[in-house]
Amino acid sequence: MHLNCYLLLTISLLVCTSKLCGQQQDIVKTEGITSALHQANVGKITFAAKEIPIDNYEKSDFLTSYTLTPKSKLFMTVFMGNSLTNYLHRLAPELSPEELAKIGNYQFSFYMDNQLVYQDNLHPGAPYAKDKHTQTVLSKPLIDHPFPDWWSTYLWLRFTNNGGDSTLTEGKHSFKMEIRPYLANPGLKVGELIATGMLALDVKKPELDIASIQDSIQLREVKPYHGLPVSDEGFDRDKIKALKAKVDAEIFKNITSIVALKNGKILVEEYFNSANRNTLHDVRSVGKSFASTVMGIAIDEGLLKNENQTLKEFYHLKAYDHHAPEKENISLKDLLTMSSAFEGNDDDGQSAGNEERMYPTENWVAFTLNLPVVPTKKGQWTYFTAGVVLLGDVLDKNVPGGLEKYADARLFKPLGITKYKWQYTPQKVANTAGGIQMNSLDFAKYGQLYKNGGKWNGKQIIPKEWVNKTFTKHRSVADRKNEYYGYLFWNKKYQVNGYDYETFYCAGNGGNKIFVFKDQPLVVVVTATAFNAPYSHLQVDKMMEDYILPAVLQNK
């Protein structure tokens, strides 16, 4: 009797142990189930028409249907039963939380009318690892007009750019989104469904009848600005009105300003999406061009010998990783033309020198100098932000008072530019990677300075020889036909009415541009906040060819 009981107890323990061993235990502690609303909706994606703090979110806020227009806002809240890291742990129990965060994330699937349209394995870099470990509720914007600067809004933009736009036709549709965990490397592992949500969409794409509203569109009255008088030349006002209507209707999205100077005078000046004449615009990599400008001034003053100086003249490179003669012989010109031997390519997510790998580090200069080199890469153009950080560091160490004070005294004050903001590196050096903020007219002054051959009010600010070197096609831009690169300026041609119009220009993420036209007395500034959006630069090209240039090239 006692033996039978013992056997039964032993079998029961073995069965229980087997069941426990068959279950994956959580690897990280999460926020848990955060509320009764969360408990009632685990596994659901819900949608709202406005941003609502999660503590104030109620079931009555959940949308079942929504009218989608070019100016819509749409927010998602995902109620999960666990954190992403714990879901990923079930796919690879042998990996640590840190390892899971590096190679895993959410997979989003977008369905329209019960058909899979797009699937996105979200890059492991967003959300942050700590959020992957703890969060059990995701509350993010999907469409956030006019400020789409979230990983979740970029996700929506990728969906629309990869089949979404063609399926979001006028009329009623069924939209569904699903979320699963995935791991990459080696191969691709996708886990079970985390959450799903549905929404009935009524898509409205109103056609603009420009002719019928032409008379009601008012162009801004242009007034003089410090150093920039008003032009009395004519332009095609109807073209600019049509452009303004399309920006207001969000056909051209997230544009904040358009300024055109002709013969050094303000011809067109329009603002959008709450911007005005005093707004300081974050133009991202447009700021790289300023590093070239300051370097030309510093060379002219004898603070640097010339752009052919090499890194071994400025750094003890044996103190850094991957020492090689090819690294010592990288010149300032190589960095100005983005054609150095550094293993760095911002367009390649796997590149050792990709800018996204630099930003989290404590010292961006050390990050760059520690990079390996690829000798065969010298002379080949690849977009390389970290190299421009090096240029800023060289300047900061060789000009009196450092880069920020020197640029203010030698460049900004002579132009009458007094209100601007730098971003900074971790070492508190003005960040030449990009991000300097100014108003649109001050950016236009900067472009006009180059149009003037480096002169402002009769004084030579930038050496004429440096302007000529800057506006030289030093390198062909990879994967772009008939596009070139100068000294941190781009080059291309626009075609209008069968004629080519060549421009050198600064460019920054989001669709930010300063155009200086070669054979026309034109400087054009476009600022925008379409950061990382796939359409950001393409729509500016369309605006230039279809509206801005046709309007200002002719007199009416």
User: Over its length of 556 residues, how does the chain's per-residue pLDDT go in tens digits?
Assistant: 454 544 444 444 444 433 334 456 999 999 999 999 999 999 999 999 999 999 999 999 999 999 999 888 999 999 999 999 999 999 999 999 999 999 999 999 999 999 999 999 998 888 889 999 999 999 999 998 666 668 898 899 889 989 998 999 999 999 999 999 999 988 899 999 999 999 999 999 877 777 778 888 999 999 999 999 999 999 999 999 999 999 998 889 899 999 999 999 999 999 999 999 999 999 999 999 999 999 999 999 999 999 999 999 999 999 999 999 999 999 999 999 999 999 999 998 789 999 999 999 999 999 999 999 999 999 999 999 999 999 999 999 999 999 999 999 999 999 999 999 999 999 999 999 998 999 999 999 999 999 999 999 999 999 999 999 999 999 999 989 999 999 999 999 999 999 999 999 999 999 999 999 999 999 999 999 988 887 899 999 999 999 999 999 964 4
Q: What is the pLDDT, as a whole number, of residue 184?
A: 93
**Is-same-fold flag (210-279+439-552; 304-398)?**
no
Decide: helix, strand or coil at residue 271.
strand
In angstroms, rounded to a whole number, what is the distance separating the alpha carbons of residues 337 and 334?
5
Quote the tokens at residue 467.
């302007």
Task: Provide the strand spans (E) within 439-509.
Answer: 455-456, 459-460, 475-476, 484-485, 490-496, 499-508
In angstroms, the Cα distances linking 333 to 292, 379, 507 are 10, 10, 19
Q: What is the pLDDT, as a whole number, of residue 164?
A: 94
DSSP classification of residue 382: -
Neighbours of 255 (CB within 10 A): 29
Residue 485 phi, psi (nearest 5): -135, 135
Q: What is the pLDDT, as a whole number, of residue 435?
A: 84
Neighbours of 226 (CB within 10 A): 11
In angstroms, rounded to a whole number, what is the distance separating the alpha carbons of residues 515 and 213?
30
In angstroms, rounded to a whole number, what is the distance separating the alpha carbons of residues 293 and 306?
13
Quote the tokens at residue 228.
């920039």
Q: What is the pLDDT, as a whole number, of residue 215?
A: 82
Residue 24 phi, psi (nearest 5): -80, 125
Sorted by where each begins, the domain ranges of the chain are 28-203, 210-279+439-552, 304-398
Say which CATH class 28-203 falls into.
mainly beta
Neighbours of 211 (CB within 10 A): 9
The secondary element (H helix, E strand) that includes residue 158 is: helix 151-159
Decide: helix, strand or coil at residue 477.
coil
CATH of region 210-279+439-552, choose from 3.40.710.10, 3.40.190.10, 3.40.50.261, 2.40.110.10? 3.40.710.10
Length of the chain: 556
Architecture of domain 304-398: Up-down Bundle (1.20)
What is the rounded radius of gyration, in angstroms, for the C-alpha atoms of the chain?
28
Q: What is the pLDDT, as a whole number, of residue 147?
A: 62
Q: 302: phi > 0 → left, psi -120 to 50 → alpha, else beta; which?
A: left
In angstroms, rounded to a whole number, what is the distance separating the alpha carbons of residues 86 and 191?
11
Quote the tokens at residue 81.
């039963």
Q: What is the pLDDT, as a whole number, of residue 123?
A: 87
